[in-house]
Amino acid sequence: MVWFQPQDNPGLRDRLDPGFWDPRYEQLFADCACEVRPLGDFIVHLTYGPIVTAREPPLDPRGVTLLHQGQIAPAGVDPTEARRIVPHCDWDLPRCRVRRGDVLFPRSGEGSLLKHRAALFSDDYPAVVGSFVDLIRVADVQPVYVLLFLKSKYGRLQIQRLCNGVGTPNVSFAEIRELQMPLLPPDSRRRLVADYQPVHRAHEQAVSRKAALLAEGLPANEARRHPEVRRLFARSAEALDVLVSGMEAAVRGEDQTE
C-alpha cells in the first residue's frame, strides 16, 4: 500500500518545492498491513488560539492557563511556566478552551513542528491554547492513538513533506485533515492506550518535581536544567518512543506478543 498520489488531491498538484517530490514519501505506506484513513474523518473540532497583537494578556494567578508551544513537552503538557490569564478575556475564547483528551499540536516552527512536538491534554484545570498551537479534538478513535500516529514515522514524514511557509515552516488545517492515518484494529488500539498510562505517569512525575522546585523559589531556567527534572522528562520521552515504536511495528503487522 502506498500513500495517496499528489494527482489525487488538487491542492498538492502544483507544489514546486523539490523536497515534496522525494520518492521516499511515495512508499511511506509500503509496509502498512492495515486500513488507512484520513485523520479528518475523525476530527470534530480543529482550531488554534486567538491572534491578539500589540498588547499582553491580562494576568490572574488563579486564572486560565495559556498553553503555548513552550508548554508542549516531549511526552505531555507542562504548565509549570505557563501564564495564567483573566477568564473570558480576548485570549480566552470558548472555541480555544481545552478539554481532557484533546491533542495539542504546535503548528509552526523548526523547534516545535519540525521536532514533531505533540501532547495529550490529560487534566481538568481550565486552559486555552495560544495562537501557535492547534487543538485537535477527535471522535470514534482514541486520542492517544492519534497522538502516537503524529509521533510515528507515518505522521512525521507526512508532516515533513507537507509543511511549508516563508521563513517559518507551518502546516494548515486542510493539510492536517489530509494526513493519512493507519488504523489498527480496535483491540490493538486499546492495548496501546493502556500502555500509554506509564508514559503519562512518568511525565507527571517530571512536572511535579519541576513544580516543587519552582515553589521552593528556584528560578525557572535552573528548575528546567535541574538533573532530576531532566532525568524524569527524559524517562517519559523514552517511554513514549518505545510505545511509538510498538505502534509502528503493529502497523507493519508484526506480532508484539512474541
For the stretch 113-129, pLDDT in tens is: 456 889 999 999 999 99
Residues 6+ positions from 87 with CB-CB distance below 8 Å: 60, 63, 64, 126
Q: Say what the pLDDT of residue 167 is.
A: 52
Residues 6+ positions from 230 with CB-CB distance below 8 Å: none
Full DSSP string of the chain: --PPPGGG-GGGTT---GGGG-HHHHTTTTT--SEEEEGGGTEEEEEE-----SSPPPEEEEEEEEE-GGGEETTEE--TTPEEE-TTSTT--GGGB--TTPEEEE-BTTTTGGGT--EE----S-EEE-TTEEEEEESSS-HHHHHHHHHSHHHHHHHHHH-B-SSS-B--HHHHHH-EEEE--HHHHHHHHHHHHHHHHHHHHHHHHHHHHHHTT--HHHHHH-HHHHHHHHHHHHHHHHHHHHHHHHHTT--TT-
Is the confidence at residue 194, as pLDDT, over 70? yes
Residue that wins the pLDDT comparison between 5 and 227: 227
Q: Which tens digit of pLDDT belongs to each residue from 138-186?
A: 999 999 999 999 999 999 999 888 876 545 667 889 999 999 999 999 9
Residue that wins the pLDDT comparison between 150 and 111: 150
105 by Cβ neighbours in 10 Å (0-12 / 13-18 / 19+) ranks as buried
Residue that wins the pLDDT comparison between 236 and 15: 236
Is the confidence at residue 96, as pLDDT, over 50? yes
**Structure confidence at residue 206 as a pLDDT band (50, 70, 90):** very high
**Average pLDDT for residues 134-140, to the nearest whole number?**
97
CA distance 66 to 98: 10
